[in-house]
Amino acid sequence: MLRYALKRLLATIPVMAIVALFVFSLLYLSPGDPAAVIAGDIATEEDIAKIRAQLGLDQPYLVRFGSWLGDLARGDLGVSIFTQLPVSTLIGQRIEPTLALTLCTLIVAVGLAVPLGVLAAARAGGWIDRIVMAVSVLGFSVPVFVIAYGLIFTFSVWLEWLPVQGYRSITEGFVPFIRHMILPSLALGVVYMALIARITRATMLDVLSQDYVRTATAKGLAPGTVLVRHALKNAAVPIVTIIGIGIALLIGGVVVTETVFAIPGLGRLTVDAILRRDYPIIQGVTLLFSAVYVLVNLLVDLSYSLFDPRIRY
Amino acid sequence: MAAIAEAIAAPKSVSPTIQRFKDALRRHPTAIAGAIVLVLMMLVAIFAAWLGTIDPQALSPIRRLRPMSEEHWFGTDMLGRDVYSRVIYGTRVSLTVGLAVALLATTIGLAIGLVTGYLRWLDAVVMRVMDGLMSIPSVLLAIALISLTRASLENVIIAIAIAEVPRVVRLVRSLVLTLREQPYVEAAIASGTRLPAILMRHILPNTLAPLLVQATYIWASAMITEAILSFIGAGTPPNIPSWGNIMAEARSLIQVAPTILLFPGLFLSLTVLSVNLLGDGLRDALDPRLARRI
């Protein structure tokens, strides 16, 4: 197991190297001269050239990539052009709301989608199945911000049950935190739920037609037990896989959801950085999100043996 | 008996593929509904100027934030522009971006996938690059690319297409890997057919059906991505009325004028839904094995 884990971890290195090379190339190609920005308005050509040499900006591409990787290894993601603060500091300040939002969404989405997918498969062709499938097609088609405004209009403007927007840290109390999280997590979770429910249903349909499920039913086990202990457990690997892959949808959606609900997280940081053309921030966030995505899917890979004892490493 | 007689009498000219296609469409009324809505939207996009619209950019400061009326069907926005005209013209942007991205991404992906699927030595390198690109969530990838360039419709299309290419390459490559083990490909190799001919004549035609399905889904997701990019201010430039732009400008007006958000959102969702339904129908018709699974 440990050897396999190590092997898989090593296999992520080329992938992350490609990501790093891509992100660095963006920085390399980005218009504007950081040296000129640092030097200020009254600097002469010579001053700028001196700063360029100091920063190593006059070095060739691969040398700069090397030193950038070295900085990265020390956790240095560069300095924001607009605020002059280290990107790692800015990310650190904004990470909590994003983490809270994605975790809430993950819990809501998986908690609703898996049971719905199981039910849809258990009663294939029935009305639950039809509704789940119809809603999942809709979920793929209605963009996250349209859902978000629909929810805001219904529950905040019209019914006035929940706040329109904003974020409360969990340290300010659990109830305000949850009240501010319900709508964003639902809006963000819809596509993700649609995806998980579909795959759950499809895999469960496959598993339910297996002989051992018929045997379990024939020997008189309760339908619920058969469904969960025999069928769901055997359908777990594809379901967990899609939960991991779907994280990409969540990350893309976070940027939009945080904008709609005015949540001061990493998504909002990215949007502000786009508007100000603050490249180091865009690159830092891209790198971080990609690393998280790769890591989550590595963990998903390693979790297979928990669900399926036939998979041993 | 009558059915059998009919089947025997049926003209032989209809190929089984086309017949299967027709049957599947008959069995999938949602796909037909999707196609109809999509055609309607395309007509709206083409004839936008003749649908009772006025200049979507025409400012009218004295008519700011008017509610829905005979004169302004969807009301007016913060600058007094006619929301109905803006939404109708927005159809052009969305459909253009969707179609262009689908064409561009599948063409590039097909070319890369065909060659890498066939040449083993290239495969390892290209697939690592694709894995790397795929581990950057596609919205972020598009944002990062767009931030490098001037905001323009072309750049939006290119950025979204690049973000979609790796998935197409994956699909084509996996198809090629199975296809090249087929006896007829081996026969072609044995009889001395050269590589370009094998790719073009024996492999390419067999990738087209799954690719068409994939292209439809890319079309749908590209329209969503364009709207997302425009909505967060990294997409279509503000002087072009796109659904994402209209919604971005109305962001703070949800309590005052929710209809400005409602109509572009409705049009966008309906269009994406129609393309998705069409895609599902095509998938069922062209790939019966997959159809039963999902």
A103-128 pLDDT tens trace = 999 999 999 999 999 999 888 888 88
- The mean per-residue pLDDT over the stretch B220-246 comes to 88
Q: Which residue of B has its CA nearest to A143?
A: B224
Establish, for the pair of chains A and B, how many residue pairs have beta carbons separated by less than 8 Å: 149
CA distance A44 to A33: 14
Q: Are A137 and B133 in contact (CB < 8 Å)?
A: no
pLDDT, tens digit, 9 for 90 and up, residues A172-196: 888 888 889 999 999 999 999 999 9
Closest in B135, B146, B234 to A290, CB measured: B135
pTM reported for the whole predicted model: 0.85
More confident residue, A30 or B204: B204
Strand partners, B76: B82
B131: Cβ contacts below 8 Å, ≥ 6 apart = A14, A15, A18, B166
Comparing A65-69, B147-151, B208-212, the range with the smallest average pLDDT is B147-151
pLDDT-based confidence at residue B238 (cuts at 50, 70, 90)? confident
Share of chain A above pLDDT 70, in %: 95
Q: Are A293 and B137 in contact (CB < 8 Å)?
A: yes
Q: Are B144 and A149 in contact (CB < 8 Å)?
A: no
- Whether the Cβ atoms of residue B276 and residue B215 lie closer than 8 Å to each other: no
Q: Are A293 and B228 in contact (CB < 8 Å)?
A: no
- Whether the Cβ atoms of residue B203 and residue B118 lie closer than 8 Å to each other: yes
* Mean pLDDT for chain A overall: 85
> Is the backbone of residue B152 left (phi > 0), alpha (psi -120 to 50) or beta?
beta
The pair phi, psi for residue B56, each rounded to 5°, is -65, -15
Residues in chain B closer than 8 A to A275 (CB atoms): 233
**In the numeric block, which tokens belong to residue A6?**
């190590």
Task: Identify the burial level of B287 via C-beta atoms within 10 angstroms of its C-beta, where 0-12 means exposed, 13-18 middle and 19 or more buried.
Answer: middle
Q: Chain B contact for A19, CB < 8 A?
A: yes
The helix (run of H) or strand (run of E) holding residue B104 is helix B83-118
- The mean per-residue pLDDT over the stretch A67-95 comes to 85
Cα–Cα distances in angstroms (integers) from residue B78 to residues A17, A71, A286, B67, B249, in the given order = 47, 47, 34, 11, 8
Closest in B129, B233, B269 to A146, CB measured: B269
A125: Cβ contacts below 8 Å, ≥ 6 apart = none
Cα–Cα distances in angstroms (integers) from residue B117 to residues A69, A136, B172, B174, B180, in the given order = 32, 33, 8, 7, 9
Candidates A112, A257, A246, A259; CA nearest to A184 is A257
Residues in chain B closer than 8 A to A288 (CB atoms): none
What is the pLDDT, as a whole number, of residue B4?
A: 53
Length in residues, chain B: 294
**In the numeric block, which tokens belong to residue A241?**
């896989």
Q: Where are the alpha helices (DSSP H) in A30-154?
A: 34-39, 45-55, 61-73, 87-122, 127-141, 144-151
pLDDT, tens digit, 9 for 90 and up, residues B104-144: 999 999 999 988 887 878 888 888 888 888 888 888 888 88
pLDDT > 60? residue B293: no
What is the pLDDT, as a whole number, of residue B289?
A: 56
User: What's the ipTM?
Assistant: 0.84
Candidates B182, B158, B125; CA nearest to B236 is B158
